[in-house]
Amino acid sequence: MLNERTKIGAGFIILLILGAIILFKTKYTLSTVLKNESKQISVGGVCPPFHLYDEQGKVIDPVHGINSDKPYSPKQTCGKCHDYNKISEGFHFQQGRGEKPNPLTAERCLWVTSPGNYGGNW
Amino acid sequence: MIDMTSFDFVVQCGSCHPGGGPLEFDREGYRYDSLMSDPNSGLISGGENNLDGDYYKAQWDKSGVLEADCFLCHMPEYNFSARNQQINKLNFRWAATTGSGLAIVTGSVKEEKTVKVSYDKSRFDEDGRLSPHIVREPRTQTCLNCHAKPGWKKRGANFRARTDVHLAAGLMCVDCHPAGKYVDDERIKGKDVHQVGKGDDPGGHVRDDLDNTCRDCTQCHEKGYLNAPIANHSWLPPLHLDKIACQTCHIPQRPVKAALFQASDVFNPGTKIPEKGKYLWVFYGPDMKYWNHYGELEMMGFDDKPTDPYRPVFARYKEKIYPVNQLHSAWPGIEIEGKNGLAQPLMSDVYKMWMTFKNDITSYADLALIKDDNDDGVIEINRPEEIDALISAVTSYLRKTGYPLEGKRVVWVSNDRIYRSGKEFEQVPTEPWEASPYGNVHKYTHDIYPARAALGVNGCGDCHSRSSDFFYASVVKRPFDEKGNPVYEPQYKLLGLTSWSVSLGMFRESNLKPTLYVLFVVLISLFVIWAVDRAIEILGPPSIGLHHRLFSWIIGVAIFLLFVYLMGHRELLEFMLPSRFWLDSHHFGVGAGVMIVGTIALLIRLKQLYPGRRIRKRVASCFRCTLIAIGLAFAALSGIIMLMHPEALGVITRLSYLVFDLSLALIVVGIILVVFREIVSAKVPLVKSHHM
């Protein structure tokens, strides 16, 4: 017969092993997902099924109730496969931010700080 | 004094701006919410934050930011309305989630109600993954969600198949405005590069280095991209394509109104203007009649905007003539000692000034001097006392708000005139395409008409005639004179042309060419008389009487009279004879034909004259020959200049068109005289000789 201490010790070890398996499995699954998500985009140009991610980069999985109270982050979600920074350099996003105003406009209109609608124009 | 802050910018402009850039990062490159959430930043949520425009009274830590929202463009079913509701609730962080329809979001940062997300599980697969309907190329309607409204106000764009040949053909915005790795222009080509191919609008200066990266007309209509019909302008003297943009002829008319004049100095009396600040923008349409644009937009919406056709103004921009909308402007400005440009009071202050006056006419009572001088129901500033009244009222208001006016002076700015008082103004330079240095200029590019509706389909007279609007249309020079009526100038002046050079063109197309074509008919009639005479001589009875000779004249005159009759019946004329367009478009062939016939007539006549004498003397001794020879020489010379149209010769090249047609007329007159002489001097024998 096993004594009480041995039982506790065995239970602890089993828990540790189970925990390790779960951690490993989760990590494996996530890394596989990430790998696959970024791999597949480079192969076909067609987005594979993908997870949503929140602003902290954590998976949102409403089906399994993981993180499902968080809004998704386009940057973290689409950015897994696409170059978010390159994309958002587009003038549709920047709207003249970081650009100097056209010299003639700057000379005429003292309030203008950028060529776009952001920073003073009409 | 704080103008629109970055936080306000998200609320007021985020409905169209897709996130990222200034909606995500401050001027230093820090993400707004991250920095404000950092206790070491010293920023206080909702606080004044050292009057920093990026953080003044902002609540980034609660609202989050608007990241670049990919689905906004790439998901056709994206719900803009749901997104904008979140923005208005200051739920920036949640906007993309509701816009994509993936979840329902409740609560509001603005109302301090906890924001909760409830995802629609049916959108996810069993692994919790998503396969949404997303597209590589955004649909036209997606673009129009943002571009429709601003495209209407000052650009007069309809963006509808009814008025645009490209949309009618099923093209999408991205066909001409491509992005990513599928574009031709290396400046914007590459995976994930989202620099959408852009045009070159004089009114916009964002990323001027990427101007003209969109597919222009020639890329499709010269190369046949997407099976586009190849444009054939062989009928048009090449000079035109060097100087005139495609749009100039292919946008002969605009289908919906655009604001020609924006007065930001008086109160807009219109109804249904959705935002208070917009009551300070009074718009006038292309006809210079008051236009309640925002009211129309609010009442009818963009999709049901009314048809208000008008002819565009033409202006020179970067060496070519374009159809444009040149905005005229009027606004109160602030002149600062030692500086060249102008500042402006906050529009919200000018609005408040007017509201104060409207509620109590003893406040800023000077404003009562501003009257409706043209009886259109809207007051306008145009007389010296009205200018003084506005300057005085704005100055008083700014003083009251504590605005520092030392070294500054309130002025009234009307187009390029800076009025320091009602009678003293300084004029500032403008670009050739501008009506006002402070008003936008927009090139018209959308709403292209079919080729068969373009300018020129009726011949050169579509532009080069006195009845055409191309050169002689009245174009607004200033919004108002002292009676409140617009001041106009002819279109050609705006194009930098002189009256005489335009008149020469008009004379050529309206007088000279028609005269030339009438001379053709005279020549044909005379030739018929000559031919009938010859036929009678050869085939007629042995004894030819006077009545036989009259017979040929009757036929000739009848042909001429038939033509005169046809002149009054244009449709029949063009059914029976070459149309004016045909004649104009085959001008090279017509000219060459005249020169060949002239040369033959000259040789025949020279052969008849004093055989053995030198050609020069023979030509000089015959008036008809002299006419033809001079005509041939000048036609050849001017024709070569026309074909080569050397830039260096400038005015001479322009004159060559006139000289060429004058020379043709001279040749034809010479030929007519030769044929006429042949007719009257023909020795038709009264008794035909009988050959054995």
**Chain A residue with minimum CA distance to B345:** A111
pLDDT score, position A22: 56
Distances in whole angstroms, Cα of residue B564 to Cα of each of B531, B572, B574: 22, 12, 13
User: Which of B7, B60, B124 is the best mutation test for A, with the most CBs of A within 10 A?
Assistant: B124
Q: Does any CB of chain A come closer than 8 Å to the CB of residue B437?
A: yes
pLDDT score, position B542: 72
Nearest to A108 by CA among B149, B344, B569, B602: B344
Ranges A33-37, B461-465, B521-525, most confident: B521-525
CA–chain centroid gap for B90, Å, is 40
Cβ–Cβ of B194/A86 closer than 8 Å? yes
CA distance A22 to chain B (A): 17
Q: How far apart are CA A31 and CA A11, in angstroms?
A: 30
Could you tell me the two tokens for B76? 């056709």
pLDDT greater than 90 at residue B1: no
Between the two ends of chain B, the Cα-to-Cα distance in Å is 116
For residues B651-675, average pLDDT: 92
Q: Does any CB of chain A come closer than 8 Å to the CB of residue B350?
A: no
CA distance A15 to chain B (A): 26
pLDDT tens digits, one per residue of A99-122 = 999 899 999 999 888 888 765 444
Q: Does any CB of chain A come closer than 8 Å to the CB of residue B3?
A: yes
Q: Are B20 and B68 in contact (CB under 8 A)?
A: yes
Distances in whole angstroms, Cα of residue B635 to Cα of each of B461, B619, B677: 21, 17, 24
Q: Does any CB of chain A come closer than 8 Å to the CB of residue B117?
A: yes
Residue B531: its H or E element:
helix B513-539
Nearest to B128 among A62, A82, A105 (CB): A62
Residue A59: its H or E element:
strand A59-60
Nearest to B371 by CA among B362, B363, B380: B380
Cβ–Cβ of A78/B70 closer than 8 Å? yes
pLDDT greater than 80 at residue B363: yes
Which of the two residues, A3 and B194, has the higher pLDDT score?
A: B194
**A107 backbone dihedrals φ, ψ, rounded to 5°:** -70, -35
User: Could you tell me the pTM of the whole model?
Assistant: 0.85
Lowest mean pLDDT among B140-154, B430-444, B595-609: B595-609
pLDDT score, position A31: 47
**B581 backbone dihedrals φ, ψ, rounded to 5°:** -60, -45
Which of the two residues, B309 and A117, has the higher pLDDT score?
A: B309
Cβ–Cβ of B68/A96 closer than 8 Å? no
Q: Does any CB of chain B come closer than 8 Å to the CB of residue A97?
A: yes
Q: Does any CB of chain A come closer than 8 Å to the CB of residue B343?
A: yes
Distances in whole angstroms, Cα of residue A5 to Cα of each of A9, A13, A15: 6, 12, 15
Distances in whole angstroms, Cα of residue A101 to Cα of each of A95, A109, B368: 12, 10, 38
Beta bridge partners of B425: B419
For residues B509-538, average pLDDT: 91
Distances in whole angstroms, Cα of residue A65 to Cα of each of A69, B127, B175, B354: 9, 11, 42, 56
Residue B276 class from Cβ within 10 Å (0-12 exposed, 13-18 middle, 19+ buried)? Answer: exposed
Contacts for B643 with CB less than 8 Å, ≥ 6 apart: none
Read off the amino acid at residue A34: L
Read off the amino acid at residue B232: N
The torsion region of residue B337 among left (phi > 0), alpha (psi -120 to 50) and beta comes to: beta
Q: Are B41 and B33 in contact (CB under 8 A)?
A: no
Q: Does any CB of chain B come closer than 8 Å to the CB of residue A42?
A: no
- Residues in chain A with CB shorter than 8 Å from the CB of B21 are 88, 93-95, 97, 118
Q: Are B324 and B314 in contact (CB under 8 A)?
A: yes
Q: What is the DSSP string of B160-204?
A: -TTT-HHHHTT--HHHHS--BTT-S-GGGBSTT---------TT-
pLDDT score, position B399: 96
- Note the ipTM here: 0.84
For residues B351-380, average pLDDT: 96
Nearest to B20 among A63, A88, A109 (CB): A88
pLDDT score, position B435: 96
pLDDT greater than 50 at residue B686: no
pLDDT score, position B257: 95
| Interface subset of A 103-122, CB within 8 angstroms of B | 104-111, 115-120
- Residues in chain B with CB shorter than 8 Å from the CB of A84 are 68
Q: Does any CB of chain B come closer than 8 Å to the CB of residue A79?
A: no
Radius of gyration of chain B (CA): 35
Kindly report the average pLDDT of chain B as a whole number: 92
pLDDT tens digits, one per residue of B273-291 = 988 889 999 999 999 999 9
At A98, the pLDDT band (50, 70, 90 cuts) reads confident
Q: Are B152 and B256 in contact (CB under 8 A)?
A: yes
pLDDT tens digits, one per residue of B312-324 = 999 999 999 999 9
Nearest to A118 by CA among B14, B641, B43: B14
pLDDT tens digits, one per residue of A47-62 = 999 999 999 999 999 9
pLDDT score, position B579: 85
pLDDT score, position A19: 62
- Residues in chain B with CB shorter than 8 Å from the CB of A87 are 20, 68, 70, 192-194
Q: Does any CB of chain B come closer than 8 Å to the CB of residue A87?
A: yes
For residues B32-58, average pLDDT: 95
